[in-house]
Amino acid sequence: MQFRPNITRTEEIKQIAMADAALTVAFSIALAGGIFGNLGNAVVLLPIAFVAVTLSFVLHELMHKYVAQHYGAIAAFQTSPMGLIITLGTSIFGFLFGIPGATVIYTNSFTVKQNGVTSLAGPLTNFAVFAVFFVIFIFAPANTYFSTMASIVMFISILLAFFNMLPIMPLDGSKVLRWNRKVYFSSLGVIMVLMGIAYYSLFHSVAGMVTEVIFMLFIAVFFSMFYRNVL
Distance (Å, whole) CA 153 – CA 158 = 8
Asked if residue 100 lies in contact with residue 22, where contact means CB atoms within 8 angstroms, the answer is yes
CA 217 → CA 59, 162, 197, distances in Å?
23, 10, 20
Asked if residue 87 lies in contact with residue 23, where contact means CB atoms within 8 angstroms, the answer is yes
The string of DSSP letters for 159-216 reads HHHHHHTSSSTTSHHHHHHHH-HHHHHHHHHHHHHHHHHHHHHHHS--TTHHHHHHHH
* Cross-strand partners of 78: 102
- Catalytic, 11? Answer no
Distance (Å, whole) CA 144 – CA 138 = 12
Would you please indicate which residues are annotated as catalytic (active-site) residues?
Answer: 61
